[in-house]
Chain A
Amino acid sequence: LAKTTQPISMDSYEGQEVNITCSHNNIATNDYITWYQQFPSQGPRFIIQGYKTKVTNEVASLFIPADRKSSTLSLPRVSLSDTAVYYCLVQGTYKYIFGTGTRLKVLA
């Protein structure tokens, strides 16, 4: 399974768009990319999942280039409540490898 690499931390201001990139150089053909959000003392919560190109839902977008060696989670107009740790996950046939997460801090 492909290991993932993410920035350890990021700061942003309220109202800005935030892009968090995850590197997964050894991703396999059948692997999916999934992103989770985690608040302190809680379990992770699903944000978005994709295989290639672009996926959008009501809270985020996920961009995956053609070579699929990286992916970018885009959070539009963040608020203070988006302060959390964001995990990139490569999913391969039920065995899952989470990255170490990106700690996003949204400032007023």
Chain B
Amino acid sequence: EAQVTQNPRYLITVTGKKLTVTCSQNMNHEYMSWYRQDPGLGLRQIYYSMNVEVTDKGDVPEGYKVSRKEKRNFPLILESPSPNQTSLYFCASSFGENEQFFGPGTRLTVL
């Protein structure tokens, strides 16, 4: 089944404890992206990747890192999480600028 998977789905952590949210797609898509969703603010793009080893900042990149060493994986790294990064995170992938396929989301709480 064609899909985008994210892990973990739920995470509660404390300020400053490094964490990684994984994203994987099995559709051989070149493009992958991370978004955060907060009440009243809609979806905001954090980082995106046009292909392996090619990444760029979205609208709200501060406090996040990404890497794209393999085509199928695009992990989101929070080196020192803070409470304002408490949010619902979505990973997405697509062929070029066509329809994006979204993962199920990761709900992160930073205490």
Contact = CB atoms under 8 A, between A and B. Distances in A.
B66 interface: no
Q: Is the interface of B mostly helix, strand, loop or mixed?
A: strand
Interface in B1-53: 4, 31, 33, 35, 40-45, 48, 50
B103 interface: yes
Given A43-B90, A43-B105, A98 B99 contact: no
Contacts of A49: 98-99
Given A42-B105, A43-B102, A94 B48 contact: yes
B102 A96 contact: no
Nearest to A8: B40
A97 interface: yes
Contact of B92 (A41, A43, A100, A101): A43
A81 B88 CA distance: 23
Nearest to B6: A43
| A-B pairs with lowest CB-CB distance, top 10 | A43-B102, A46-B99, A100-B42, A98-B43, A98-B42, A43-B90, A44-B102, A101-B42, A96-B45, A91-B97
Interface of B: 4, 31, 33, 35, 40-45, 48, 50, 56, 58-59, 90, 92, 97-105
